[in-house]
Structure 1
Amino acid sequence: MSTLSEMLAEHTDLPGTAVDHLQRVVGEWQILADISFADLLLWVPVDHPGSRAVTSSDTATAVCVAQCRPTTAPTVIPSDTVGAVVGETEHPEVAECLRTASIVRGGGRLPDEQGPPHDAVPVRADGRVVAVLTRDSAPVSGRPPSLLEAAYRDCAHHLSDMIAEGSFPSPSEKTDVNSSPRVGDGFIRLDTAGMVTYASPNAVSAYHRMGLTADLPGHDLAASTRSLVTDPFDAEEIAATIGAAVTSAGGRRMEVDARGATVLLRTVPLRPAGTSVGALVLVRDVTEVKRRDRALLSKDATIREIHHRVKNNLQTVAALLRLQARRTDNDEAKVALSESVRRVTSIALVHDVLSTSVDEVVDLDEVVDRLVPVMVDIGSLSADVTVGREGSLGVFPAERATPLVMVLTELVQNSLEHGFDPGARGRVTIESRRSSRMLEVTVRDDGRGVPDDFDASASDRLGLQIVSTLVTVELGGTISVAAGRDGGTAAELRVPLGRREPRG
């Protein structure tokens, strides 16, 4: 499905401010769908037909660019309507709304303002109508509405007026559908004095969880909430925010901690025609969610501390090996100890990156860039060779990053030590290409090269044996070492990305 931005770019030439406003409307319209018990469709005037044909002989009037279904009632539009281009016959209320720039009440609206089966609400931005929002709901039954239904529909009526005026949603309030409470989580209706005229059962339960013993209806919500919050400074700020919702146009999201319970509150001022008629407050009890979040944060901190200590221990081992290499007179032992220092250092760098990362993933580019100076320092001093990187290696899971970094370290070190004649100048390049399925890395040098019949898997060099084992067993990939296109040596590594089958 195309995104809202793509649909608007395809069918309209709206200015950026109008597009931003429609993005905010779609970000907040779940509230209107829930309190209207209605499906919402967003229509924009069409400049040219889209991918779907007009369903009648009428000239195309509007195209549907977004759709929202209620969580408080069954949907009446089960099919996907986004992308449909219609004429005036199919949706006459949309055409009329665009012509009159006012709300069109349709489908037999009852005199007591109960929810209509069909409404068309103009969406105004910067003083002009840029879209139409339609509400489609099931026919209203003959029974009297419950207190909850009456409170919901009353707020829906005011929010529709505010959308038609362009005052909702407010650009000053950040849209966050992940942390914002929904209507079904808890709903409170306030009058112009900040008194609770209705509170849903879920909202009452959330306040009881915070320690409230009295009923919410008939009480000042700001004062009641202030008395429950433990921190006096937070209590005053929260009370002032609730009070501002009925005295000014400011709506906010906030987190309330009271007596071991954590509740999210969101205030939505109701100010049609610039006159306050109260506010609605959405409430969500997130006590258990916060408890699990704290447990996860504690585990994450423990894991990062473990990585930090492992890194410190590995650096200590590397320092001891380096000290031992300096004290020995045997050249072969010095080379072996230096190679061990390099291998231990490469593993320590992976743990160093993980100790500062929230996720168990490693940025390979960062690790390789930090390893290159170490490899050059430990490498052969008899040649003047530089090491560079081209392309991005990307991010790898921690359990696969360590063997991959060791493989790259061994390949680069092998080029530095065995690829150049004494006194020669040259370059080693790490070239990487990454697709959705495969990471391909080539470690290329411009040195003396390898024989045509060279077989890396049959080599008796410890470094190449380590590389072959790590690539095939740990990474499930392939490795080949051959003469380069323009001389030198090219070691080509192919590592599959994504989920691997478990090793037998």
Structure 2
Amino acid sequence: MSTLRDLVEEHTSLGPIEVDHLHRLAGDWQLISDLSFADLLLWVPTAAQGTPEFVCVAQVRPTTAPTAYQDDHVGRVMTGPEVSHLSIALHQGRIWREGDPVWYGDTPARHEAIPVRRRDGSDVIGVVGRDTNLTTARTPSQLEMNYLTTADDLAQMVADGTFPPPRHPGETTSAPRVGDGLVRLDASGKVTYASPNAQSAYRRLGLAAHLVGEDLAALTSRLANDPLEGNDASNRVHAALRGDAPARKEIEARGATVLMRALPLIPAGVPIGALVLVRDITEVRRRDRELITKDATIREIHHRVKNNLQTVAALLRLQARRVETPDARAALEESVRRVASIALVHETLSISPNEAVELDGIIDRVASAAAEVASPESKVRLHREGSFGVLPADIATPLVMVLNELLLNAVEHGFAPGSGGEVTISAHRFRRQLHVSVADTGRGLPDGFDLDAGDRLGLQIVRTLARGELRGSIEMRTRLEGGTEAVLVVPLSPHR
């Protein structure tokens, strides 16, 4: 599906500043849709000459009422009598509400058209169609009346260019929403209406009385556990009353946490109060704290495992120095390298915020360690091509062990004493698979070599881990240009 930017660039001559404003509007207009109990469609005039023509570049449905449209309108181009209300709003720069209900199949709907301006008060750059499904028309309650009044104020601010507010860095537009809790303030900061969910959120903070009539800034400051945090929340309410749109703020009191967002209400440039959205996020923050504690515990475990593995490696190294039999000493030294390669993965996991490993650095360190195994008179150079990227721990640990064995095998058995050459580790991803090869320019595989029949411990480790733990495939073959190549294919599907 085409994005808003794609559709605007394809059908109009609007510039980047206008597109950015439309993006911010589409990011914040769920609020207006829910307060209006109506669908919103964002129309922009096309560059076509002659008859007015509009293209729909964004659409949102209300979560508080039935939609007027079952079909998606994004990308639809309209012209003729169907866009007459959009043309009036565009050219006259005013909200259009004069029409009779129209029918979409069996659904009657009320049409409105809201011109869209930027904050600098420039020309109208688009029109928001506000279309209300009339099949569920009923006597409005106090909640619905306050919702609709607030929606009309915000619609006028869209026409004035004062909505949406500037977006704060790093802040999303996902919460709080209308249904989470809504408080309307008059110009003095007194609460004129509070939805039931807003009242419940403040009760969690310790308010026993009703919100209506309270000075919300003073009340919030008084309820907060931390006086400084309470004063900050109070200042943000006052900022909204002055016409600013401050960043969201969390308030903690009596073990509860409430997220607050304050928006100014300045229809036609006249400050008439503020809209405060609140959401009880106590359980969300409790789960966040549990996850943080769990993550810290997991990282500490990885740190201790790394330390223990390094201790084991040190003990094996000491033992190797005391052993006089060359074969036994070589076996112990191989064990040291295997344990050290696993420790590298746990070292990375101990500082990672999740159970994922950036593998390139680890592979480079394993390759450097393998290069040291080559006989002093040999000149073997190891290098990496491509990137392994980030991999989950259950893939990273066995993969590092397999590559450690393949690199050691290439360095130890691929080159005659005194000879030189290269060992290349290549990695790339293709169709949810990681393809890895370890290729050397050495003397190649011996005649009759069979990976499955090999009885050396290193080859047994490679076979077991590649086909078992990694659920992949491993193949070793002699290269046409000389040397040996080991090819490993590892599936990266989440359903391993």
Q: Pick the TM interval, shorter chain.
A: over 0.9
Cα shift at 1:385: 1.2
Residue of structure 1 equivalent to 2:106 = none
Q: Deviations over 1:96-125 (max 9, x none)?
A: 22222332224359xxxxxx9211112113
The change in CA–CA distance for 1:173 and 1:271 in structure 2 (over 3 A counts) is: farther
Secondary structure of the 2:438 match is strand
Residue of structure 2 equivalent to 1:15 = 15
Q: Deviations over 1:183-204 (max 9, x none)?
A: 0000000000000000000000
TM-score (norm 2): 0.93
Matches within 5 A, 1:14-33: 14-33=14-33
Contact 1:28 1:175 in 2 (8 A): no
Query: Does the alignment pair 1:80 with 2:80?
Result: no
Instruction: Give unmatched runs, 5+ long, in structure 1.
Output: 50-57, 110-115
1:312 and 1:178 map into 2 onto residues whose CA distance is: 44
Q: Deviations over 1:113-156 (max 9, x none)?
A: xxx92111121135132221111012398865322112111111
Aligned residues: 487
Query: Does the alignment pair 1:433 with 2:425?
Result: no
Residue of structure 1 equivalent to 2:111 = 118
1:106 and 1:372 map into 2 onto residues whose CA distance is: 75
The change in CA–CA distance for 1:203 and 1:268 in structure 2 (over 3 A counts) is: same
Residue of structure 1 equivalent to 2:199 = 204
2:227 and 2:115 map into 1 onto residues whose CA distance is: 44
2:168 and 2:377 map into 1 onto residues whose CA distance is: 64
Contact 1:321 1:337 in 2 (8 A): yes
Residue of structure 2 equivalent to 1:261 = 256
2:71 and 2:296 map into 1 onto residues whose CA distance is: 46
Contact 1:452 1:482 in 2 (8 A): no
Residue of structure 2 equivalent to 1:249 = 244
Q: Pick from 136, 142, 155: which aligns with 1:147?
A: 142
2:172 and 2:8 map into 1 onto residues whose CA distance is: 22
Contact 2:427 2:437 in 1 (8 A): yes
Contact 2:373 2:411 in 1 (8 A): no
Residue of structure 1 equivalent to 2:489 = 494
2:137 and 2:439 map into 1 onto residues whose CA distance is: 80
Contact 2:316 2:335 in 1 (8 A): yes
1:463 and 1:76 map into 2 onto residues whose CA distance is: 67
Q: Deviations over 1:162-185 (max 9, x none)?
A: 111222112253584465200000
Letter in 1 for 2:188: A
Secondary structure of the 2:381 match is strand
Residue of structure 1 equivalent to 2:326 = 331
Residue of structure 2 equivalent to 1:113 = none
Q: Which moved more, 1:395-404 or 1:94-103?
A: 94-103
Residue of structure 1 equivalent to 2:57 = 65
1:139 and 1:179 map into 2 onto residues whose CA distance is: 28
Letter in 1 for 2:70: P
Contact 2:243 2:265 in 1 (8 A): no
Secondary structure of the 2:309 match is helix
Contact 2:95 2:114 in 1 (8 A): yes
Let me know the Cα RMSD of the aligned residues. 2.1
Q: Deviations over 1:442-467 (max 9, x none)?
A: 10111111146422111222111110
Secondary structure of the 1:208 match is helix
Residue of structure 1 equivalent to 2:403 = 408
Cα shift at 1:475: 1.2
Contact 1:97 1:122 in 2 (8 A): yes
Secondary structure of the 2:125 match is strand
Cα shift at 1:230: 1.0
The change in CA–CA distance for 1:437 and 1:250 in structure 2 (over 3 A counts) is: closer
Secondary structure of the 2:471 match is coil
Residue of structure 2 equivalent to 1:105 = 97
Secondary structure of the 1:128 match is coil
Paired-residue identity, %? 54
Secondary structure of the 2:417 match is coil
Residue of structure 1 equivalent to 2:104 = none
1:367 and 1:145 map into 2 onto residues whose CA distance is: 65
Q: Which moved more, 1:370-379 or 1:276-285?
A: 370-379
Matches within 5 A, 1:361-376: 361-376=356-371
2:229 and 2:342 map into 1 onto residues whose CA distance is: 46
Instruction: Give unmatched runs, 5+ long, in structure 2.
Output: 102-108
Q: Which moved more, 1:189-198 or 1:17-26?
A: 17-26
Contact 1:88 1:95 in 2 (8 A): no
Contact 2:220 2:234 in 1 (8 A): yes
2:300 and 2:137 map into 1 onto residues whose CA distance is: 64
Secondary structure of the 1:117 match is strand
1:7 and 1:94 map into 2 onto residues whose CA distance is: 18
Q: Pick from 286, 310, 332: which aligns with 1:315?
A: 310
Cα shift at 1:41: 0.6
2:364 and 2:5 map into 1 onto residues whose CA distance is: 38
The change in CA–CA distance for 1:59 and 1:453 in structure 2 (over 3 A counts) is: farther
Q: Pick from 338, 343, 359: which aligns with 2:354?
A: 359
Cα shift at 1:390: 0.8
2:116 and 2:342 map into 1 onto residues whose CA distance is: 58
2:378 and 2:237 map into 1 onto residues whose CA distance is: 72
Q: Which moved more, 1:344-353 or 1:58-67?
A: 58-67
Contact 2:256 2:282 in 1 (8 A): yes
Letter in 2 for 1:375: A
Contact 2:374 2:380 in 1 (8 A): no
Q: Deviations over 1:46-78 (max 9, x none)?
A: 2469xxxxxxxx957111111101111111111
Residue of structure 1 equivalent to 2:105 = none
2:441 and 2:254 map into 1 onto residues whose CA distance is: 69
1:341 and 1:178 map into 2 onto residues whose CA distance is: 52
1:45 and 1:189 map into 2 onto residues whose CA distance is: 35
Letter in 2 for 1:121: I
Residue of structure 2 equivalent to 1:222 = 217
